[in-house]
Amino acid sequence: MSLVELEKTIVECKKCERLVDFREKIAREKRRSYIDWDYWGKAVPGYGEPDAKFLILGLAPAAHGGNRTGRVFTGDKSADFLFRCLHPVGLANQPNSDHRDDGLKLDGYITPAVKCVPPGDKPTAQEKENCEPSWRKNFCF
């Protein structure tokens, strides 16, 4: 399976009913400050270089970060912190990750362990288990 095929499989996943319901609810209801955004509202694949020098495995997309933008560690406080750290050491071409088309380039690959935003930022053990094969496949690239 290629990385493109893996990402397509992830985006189309509806295996965890609780997560699908929650991610779609967040995408419909939106935060007031992002009311004009078209929320992603789907499972969030990883991003970066397939022949990465490093892999960052996050827990899950943020409700109004990755679930909004379609890219993990994007458009939220965790992204602000992470890219302010990666940029000065040359692992990212810019100190920010604001949206999918912001020009960000990495020398690594970032992926969430759980591909959908979980209620209360707490995925269940079964939800983690359901997503495990997809993030493990990232090690193959």
Q: What is the pLDDT of residues 73-127, one digit of tens each?
A: 999 999 999 999 999 999 999 999 999 999 999 999 999 999 999 999 999 999 9
Q: Is the pLDDT of residue 3 over 90?
A: no
Place of tokens 């960000």: 104
Which CATH number do you get for residue 54? Answer: 3.40.470.10
Predicted confidence at residue 136, as pLDDT, reads: 78
Q: What is the pLDDT of residues 17-29, one digit of tens each?
A: 999 999 999 999 9
The answer to whether residues 119 and 65 touch, using CB atoms and an 8 Å cutoff, is: no
Total domain count for the chain? 1
Q: What is the pLDDT of residues 29-65, one digit of tens each?
A: 999 999 999 999 999 999 998 888 888 999 999 999 9
Residue ranges of the alpha helices (H) in 3-107?
Answer: 3-12, 17-29, 66-69, 77-86
Name 105's Cβ contacts closer than 8 Å, sequence gap at least 6: 92, 93, 94
> Which residues share a beta bridge with 47?
110
Q: Which domain holds residue 44?
A: 3-140
Predicted confidence at residue 1, as pLDDT, reads: 78
Q: What is the pLDDT of residues 92-107, one digit of tens each?
A: 999 999 999 999 999 9
Predicted confidence at residue 141, as pLDDT, reads: 56
What's the pTM value of the predicted model, to 2 decimals? 0.91
What are 129-133's contacts with CB under 8 Å, separation 24+? 130/15, 130/16
The radius of gyration computed from the CA coordinates of the chain, to the nearest angstrom, equals: 14
The answer to whether residues 70 and 42 touch, using CB atoms and an 8 Å cutoff, is: yes
